[in-house]
Structure formats: structure tokens, C-alpha cells
Structure 1
Amino acid sequence: MVHLIEFTVGNFLSFKDKKTFSMEASNIRELPDNILEAGNYKLLKTAAIYGANSSGKSNLIKALEFMQDTIMNSSKLNSTDKLDVTPFLLAKENSSLPSYFEILLLIWDNYYRYGFELDNDKIHSEWLYIVPQNTKKEQALFLRENESIGISNAFSEAKGLEERTRENGLFLSVCDQFNVKQAKEIIANINDIRILSGVNHDPFKSMTNVYLREEAKKTKDFFNNFQLGFIDINLITGERAAFDKAQTTHNIYDISGKTIGRHSFIITESESAGTNKVFDMAGFILYTLQFGFPLVVDELDAKLHPLLTKKIIEMFHSPEINPKGAQLIFATHDTNLLGCDCFRRDQIWFTEKDEKEQTDLYSLVEFRDPDGVKVRNDRNYEKDYIQGRYGAIPFIGDFSNLMNHGKKS
């Protein structure tokens, strides 16, 4: 079981300066069911990220995914392989500087802070801290500056592995290769952060197939509660399909409305794009709820009715459905969610680019009006956002003369 506390990124894609996204709950009192208590921390169960197109919402998720991929693939690289990092390219000084990534995790009751700086050729720095149980003080496990790696006695299993670390490889990954217990635990839990695309979701259906096969009742109950129009769903296996395919079952009615039979459809051929998206994502929703892992989705609302999106969020807020405190973090344009009384102010985040095309990242609980006043919890968040009170909206030009090009007005 792993919980995300914070993630920081700097000099990557549209992020020039370091920006921190936090799942730590602030000292506000609304919606207590939206908070989970883990160790000494009060964390948020969900967070929504709003912003105009190209403002940096997806880049924040890409940054987390890049960090995860770098950690998971570091041990597979050769000494000459590049690290494929893209710094902020719209400021001349940044193109030659390393990119920065740091993540704070709670793994069961242990707090870890891990991060690194890298460019396309090498790791410039790397660090790992722990806050042992029943204490509040950070303790360094290792610190790396270029080729120099210092290891504390609390991480003694890793001693002797410094010389096995390439300049383009992560020391944490080397420790994992050589079965250092804490490194294995950290990497395994970072890998359990599930990052999905809400648009290109077809690759994720295999997890739903697993749940439909192994946890049929639970999975069918999930679909029944969403009321997607079919009365049953099953997998076709064996000779009828080269791989598992889902088929939905619908009633057939006579002219008076009486049920006289049933008909089945292959879900990908006959059901709506929204139904297919719910199917494709269902397995990972169930998986993260079952085991208490974070789920990160770019464009959660794409193809979905607002009530379906709201229902998914409510599942993560529910103490009964989500007893292990799985977290849902998602980027969205669905402003209806801001008016549904389902978010605290610290769960609403915004991305906005400035005049130099640098992404800023801030939460509603941090936001202040020009006169310095914080946003009250009785505000109409949806109305305020659409009206531009919080920023992070597109500024749309005047299209009235669009078709008059080359003509006299």
C-alpha cells in the first residue's frame, strides 16, 4: 500500500521552475470523508487538475510518468544510452541545465523522499531520505553528487555498490538489482502508481479482462451500478476469439415492451465510446481500490457523462468502497465537477502559462484574490472558474472576421 504525498518537477517540458503538487490535506474542515489518515499524515483521496489546453496539465502527468519510467528502466540501459529528457526549451539558459524530479511517498507507515537531477547524458544528483516510524526528523539514506555517492549506516546494505553505478544510471536502481531491501520496496511501490490516458485507454482493457475472469461478481456489480444499458457482461474465450473479448447482453422486447429474449454484442463493435472507456478503465479502478494504490488519469472525463465521472470520484471518497485509501489524481475540463460539492479547496488544482509560456501550478486553497483574500468554501467554484476568477482558462480571440479574409468589409 502506497500513498503519494508530494511530487515536484522543474526544467521539464513546460515547467521552467520547480513546481510542487501536493496531496497533503490542509487545515480546512470541509468534507472529512475526502481525507485519509496514514501514519502521521492526513492525505487527500482525490485531486482534480484544471487548466486551459496546453497549460501544462498533461505535462505534470508526463513528468510523473517520466520519473517512473526512468526508475523502472534505468537498469536496462547501456553506458552510452541517452536518458531522453526534454528540458524547458523556451529559456536559453535552461536547455543546458538538468531536469529535477522528486517524489514523497508513504509506504505503509514509512515516509520516503526520493529524487534526482539529470540531463540527456548523466545523473547529476540523486538522494533518498526516510522518516523512521514514530519520529518526525528526516534521515538521509544516501546522497549523490555526480560520481560521488555517500551512504549512511541506515542504508548499509548498499555499501559497495557505488562502483557499479554508471553515470547515466540511478543508484537506487542498482540497489534494487542487488536486492537491497528498502530499494526494492520503494521501486516496487513506485511501479504500483498507475498512470492512464483517458483518451487512449484501449491498452488497459486487459486488466478488466482479468477482473471479469477472476472476480466476476465484483466486476459485474461495478458495471451494474453504472447503468450502462446492458444487463450482463461476459468474456468470450477459446476458439471463438484469438484473445479474450467482452460481450454485453441486452434484452429483446416485443411491441408491448415484454422481454422475449436476449441478444449479445461484442463491446468494441456495438457499444458507445463512453461504455468502452468505462470497461477499459474498470480493471485499474478496481485494482487500485482493492490494494490501496494511486491512480493517475489524464482526461478522466473524456467521452464520459459528468455523472459517470462524478460516480468514479465518489467511489474513491467512500470509506466503504475505498477502505485502504487509494488515491485518484486526474486532469479534466469538466467544470460540472466544481459545482457538485464533492471537492475540498485543497483538492482543486490549476495549471496556467505565463507570458513566457512557463507553467505555474497552484491549488484553490492557496489562491488569493487581487486584494489578498483567500477563496471561501461557500463560493460557487464552477461559476468563478468559468468567469476567470482563478485564472487557468483559455483566452479566446475574436472569430467574427474569420471568413472575411481577403474581402472588403
Structure 2
Amino acid sequence: MIIEYKVKNFKSFKNEIILSMVADNNRELSDTNLFQYENMTLLKSAAIFGSNASGKSNLIESFSFFNDLFSAYVDINKMLSNLPYFKLDTESKNKPISYEISFFLNGKRHRYGIEIDSKGIYSEWLYFVPKRQEACYFERKRNEIVRTGTYFEDRKALDYIKPDAIRPFLFTLAQDSIKEFVWAKEIINYLKFYIRPSNLPEVFFKSMIEEEILKNSGKGILTKEEVLSFLKDADICITDISVLKKKTDEDDLFSQFVEFMQQKGASIESNELETYMHHSKYDEQYNIVGEEKFPLDAESRGTAKLYALIYPIFFVLKVGGFLLIDEIESSLHPLLCERIIRLFNNSKTNPHNAQLIFTTHNTLLMNPKLLRRDQIYFIEKNKYGVSNMYSLYDIDLDIRSNFNYLNNYLAGRFGAIPYLVDFNISI
């Protein structure tokens, strides 16, 4: 699980911003929205509010960019030639993009950071807490390992394992050809598979669900019965779902998806499957006389969006991890968004303490019965194009039992809202 995430000089984040999942010292919704791990109390979810173009999506994108550094199929040289550093001043292009993430893995706290500029890896560090004090695995400056700690173990391996100028040293240590550093493989596996952005193409998750339903092994992430139950609980008016082979040729959307996944290293051969939603058919007296099947692309945009979200939601709830959703309210009703959030804040549906981070414009979710103050973040961009992030808990407020977050936010008391004037147009 994630403890803290920092990013600096990435897109609109000129200065360092910190997303902390450590709970503050208050009792709000403590029985549902918090969990204890080792000696820390952590948040199960966090919401990020802000006006359009404030930088909310940049936070989600920074996680994806960070993860791409550990993909063997991403063209790192291409990344370095077009780094997304802050571009609205004259100095930031000469500074590295910086990330640091703290997390628990195998019962131990880890802290990993990396800085990258147009020349490659500027610096890199990895620490963990084996007992009570933080210990160093390694520190790197450019192409030199400047420090290794006791737990690095086989220092002689550095005679033949050298840092790659454009690749993280952690990535190098985790290669299959290197057997000495199991801890590096475990950390890479965590960073690649347990941090799940939902901003991949919807057709990717749709394909994953279709494969799971066809296998029907009961050993995968989800079953047809679970998908159907989820959709029915969401008041999608269907009686059944089925996955059938397509009769049409590949469409342009899937061709784009195939190209995208091939860049990520996946092997996808053809677009053979399609999901169908079953609807009851009635006679003039409203008696059920049969059913009609509609392909998913004939359903509403909200149904397609919800269907695609099922896979990443079930994945983290069943396996554990960290799910990122940009604009959770896109095509979804506010009450449905609330239900998804409550899945994470419920120990019965979230036994592995998976965590959810989402951005939203939906102020109805700013509800003290749904989210604690330390779960509500704001991102605000100043006139110089610099985004800043802060928590509602950090704002000095006289909170009483009837305090209305929504009304105070829309009144501008928390910032992070658009200051609008009448549109000056002539028709």
C-alpha cells in the first residue's frame, strides 16, 4: 500500500507536491475509511478536486510516466527527447523531473526515488526499514553508485552490474539474467503491477473481462456472475451478458488498441470477441416475451465506461494495490460514483486494504459522510501556471457537526475553483 507520493517539475507541478495517505489525528469515519498497517494508520481513498486545467490529470499522468521507466518495451530515448518538465519558466528545463514513492511491501516500509533529465538518470535512491531505523539499499548519481548499505549484500556484483545511463538501476538489478537481488524483482513487480492507472484504453479492460468470462475458470480476477451482479447492482437494466465471437472485421479503435498494446510488449492477434447486453422484450401488456441482445457499443456511454472499470476495480479489491481513476464521474451518476468509493471504504469488499485515488469535478462527493477532511485534496493553479496541492485538513476551519463542505467550497472558501465572468460573445 502507498504511504506517500512526491513529484516535482512534472508538467504544471513546478514545485514539489505531496500526496500523503497517512491519516491525520482525528476520529472522522475512522471505523470505515482507515486501516492500520504496522505502526501506521492509512487512508483507503483520497479525492482530488479542482477547476478545469488546474493540474488534476497531471497527477494521474505522473504515475503512468513514472511506471513507464520500468517497462522494457518503452522507448526511453524517445521519452528523454520530450520530457514533460514545467515549461512556463526559463529554468525548469535545466532541472530534473523528480519522483519519490513510499510504500509497504512484505511488511516493510520502502522509499524509492528517481530524478531524470534529458541526459538520462540524474539520481536514484532506495531505502527501507528492516527493523526500526531506515537503511540504505543504494544511492546513485548519474552513472555511479555512490553508496550501498549493509542490506545490499553482494557488493561484488557491482563489478559486472553497472548502471545504465538511461535506465533506473532498480530496473537493471531486477533483470531475469541477474539472480542475486530478489528484493529488486519484488519492488519492480510492486511498482508495475500493484499501481493500476485506469486511463488505459477502455477496450483494453473490456478485452480482459471478455477473456475472463470465456475462460470461466473461477481462478481469475472475476467471473461472469460477478460482472453481471455488479452491473445489476448499478441499475443497468439488463438480464444477462454474453461474450460472442464478432462477425465483423476489425474496427479502427481496436487497431489502435493493438498498436498501443504492442508498444507495451503485449501479444494481441485479433479482435474476435464482443460483449452483448441482454434486455427483456415485452408485449403490449408488458409481459416478458423474450430478450434482445445489444453489443456493448450500442449501449450508453455510461454503461461502457462502467463495464471497463469493473476489471481494475475487481483487480485491486481482490489482489490489493493502488487504483488511480481520472475524472471518476465521467459518464457516471454521482450516486454510482459514491457506491464505488464505498467499496474501498468497506472492509468486507476491500479485505486487502486496496487504495483508491480519484480526481473529480463532482462536488456532491465532497460529503463528510463519505470522505474525511484528510481524504479531500485540492489542486489550484496560479497565474504563472504552477499547480499547488493541499488537503482540506490543512485549512484552518472551525468544523462543527453541521459544517457543509460543498457549500463552503463553491463559495470559494477552500480555493481551487474557477473564478468566472460572463462569457462575452455576440450571436
Report if TM-score (shorter chain) is over 0.5.
yes
The whole-number CA distance in structure 2 between the counterparts of 1:84 and 1:376 is 49
Name which of structure 1's ranges 295-304 and 203-212 shifts more when overlaid on structure 2.
203-212
Q: Which amino acid aligns with 1:346?
A: D
Give 1:154's match in structure 2, choosing from 146, 151, 156. Answer: 151
Aligned to 2:71: 72
Q: How big is the shift at 1:131?
A: 0.8
Tell me: CA distance 1:345–1:211, structure 2 relative to 1, closer, same or farther (3 Å).
farther
Q: Distance between the aligned counterparts of 2:281 and 2:79, measured in 1?
A: 59
Instruction: Report SS of the residue matched to 2:361.
Output: coil
Q: Describe the shift of the 1:221–1:106 C-alpha distance in structure 2 as closer, same or farther (beyond 3 A).
A: same
Matched pairs, number: 392
Distance 1:217 1:325 in 2: 23
Structure 1 residues 273 and 18: CA distance shift in structure 2, 3 A: same
CA contact (8 A) 2:47 2:376 kept: yes
The answer on 1:259 being equivalent to 2:257 is no
| 1:392 is the counterpart of 2:419 | no
Alpha-carbon shift at residue 94 of structure 1 (Å): 1.4
Matched, 1:229 2:234: no
Listed one character per residue, the Cα deviations across residues 32-75 of structure 1 (whole Å, up to 9, x for unaligned) are: 21112222221111111000111110111111111111123499
State the Cα deviation string for residues 87-146 of structure 1 (Å, max 9, x = none): 1111212111111110111113111100111102121110000011xx332111101122
Kindly tell me: are residues 377 and 91 of structure 1, through their superposed partners in 2, closer, same or farther at Cα, counting changes over 3 Å?
Answer: farther
Partner of 1:204: 205
Structure 1 position 257, deviation (Å): 1.5
SS of match in other structure, 1:390: coil
Matches within 5 A, 1:98-137: 98-132=96-130, 135-137=131-133
- Alpha-carbon contact 1:122-1:169 (below 8 Å) kept: yes
Tell me the distance in 2 between the aligned counterparts of 1:95 and 1:81: 14
Match of 1:274 among 302, 306, 310: 302
Aligned with residue 197 of structure 2, among 195, 198, 208: 195
The reply to whether residue 344 of structure 1 matches residue 372 of structure 2 is yes
1:244–1:161 distance in 2 versus 1, CA, 3 Å = farther
For residue 80 of structure 2, give the secondary structure of its aligned residue in structure 1: coil
Q: Which amino acid aligns with 1:197?
A: N
Q: In 2 relative to 1, CA 83–320 (structure 1 residues): closer, same or farther, beyond 3 Å?
A: farther
What is the aligned counterpart of 1:247 among 262, 266, 276? 276
Distance 2:4 2:285 in 1: 58
Give the TM-score of the pair, scaled to structure 2. Answer: 0.86
Question: How far is 1:161 from its partner?
Answer: 3.6
Alpha-carbon spacing, 1:19–1:123, altered in 2? closer, same or farther (3 Å): same
Counterparts in 2 of 1:5 and 1:110: CA distance versus 1, 3 Å: same
User: 2:348 aligns to what?
Assistant: 320
CA-to-aligned-CA distance 1:194-231 (integer Å, 9 cap, x gap): 10129x53332122223433322222222221120111
Match of 2:407 in 1: 383
2-structure distance, mates of 1:71, 1:159: 24
Quick one: structure 1 residues 158 and 248, their matched pair in 2 at CA, closer, same or farther if it must change by over 3 Å?
Answer: farther
Asked if the contact 1:36/1:43 (under 8 Å) is kept, the reply is yes
| 1:85-104 paired onto structure 2 within 5 Å | 85-104=83-102
User: Equivalent residue of 2:137, what SS?
Assistant: strand
**In the alignment, structure 1 residue 138 sits paired with structure 2 residue 134:** yes
CA distance in 1, matches of 2:329, 2:156: 47
Bigger drift between 234-243 and 280-289 goes to: 234-243
- CA apart distance, 1:240: 8.2
**CA 1:123–1:264 in 2, change beyond 3 Å: closer, same or farther?**
same
Contact map agreement 2:144 2:163 (CA 8 A) in 1: no
| Residue identity (%) | 35
CA distance 1:217–1:85, change in 2 (3 Å)? same
Aligned in 2, Cα 1:230/1:159: closer, same or farther, shift over 3 Å?
farther
On the 8 A contact 2:205/2:308 being kept in 1, the answer is: yes
Say if 1:81 and 1:350 are closer, same or farther in 2 by CA, change over 3 A. Answer: closer
Flag the 1:48–1:75 CA change in 2: closer, same or farther, 3 A.
Answer: closer
Q: Secondary structure at the match of 2:280?
A: strand
Match of 1:9 in 2: 7
Corresponding residue to 2:321 among 293, 313, 324: 293
SS at match of 2:228: helix
Equivalents in 2 of 1:195, 1:158: separation in Å?
35
The residue that corresponds to 2:425 in the other structure is 402
Structure 2: segments with no counterpart, 5+ residues: 217-222, 250-270
Q: C-alpha root-mean-square deviation of aligned residues, in Å?
A: 2.2
| Aligned counterparts of 1:320 and 1:120: Cα–Cα separation in 2 | 47
Once residues 225 and 375 of structure 1 are traced to their aligned partners in structure 2, the CA distance between those partners, rounded to angstroms, is 35
Structure 1 gaps, min length 5: 405-409
C-alpha spacing 1:154/1:377, structure 2 compared with 1 (3 Å): farther
Task: Give, in angstroms, the shift of residue 30 of structure 1.
Answer: 1.0
Q: TM-score, normalised by structure 1?
A: 0.90
Map of 2:337 onto structure 1: 309
Aligned-partner Cα distance in 2 for 1:75–1:259: 53
Alpha-carbon separation, structure 2, partners of 1:238 and 1:265: 13
1:407 maps to: none
**Equivalents in 1 of 2:284, 2:401: separation in Å?**
52
**C-alpha distance in 2, partners of 1:157/1:13?**
38
Amino acid of the residue matched to residue 148 of structure 2?
A: I
* 1:88 and 1:95 in contact (8 A); partners too: yes
Q: Kindly tell me: are residues 75 and 126 of structure 1, through their superposed partners in 2, closer, same or farther at Cα, counting changes over 3 Å? A: farther
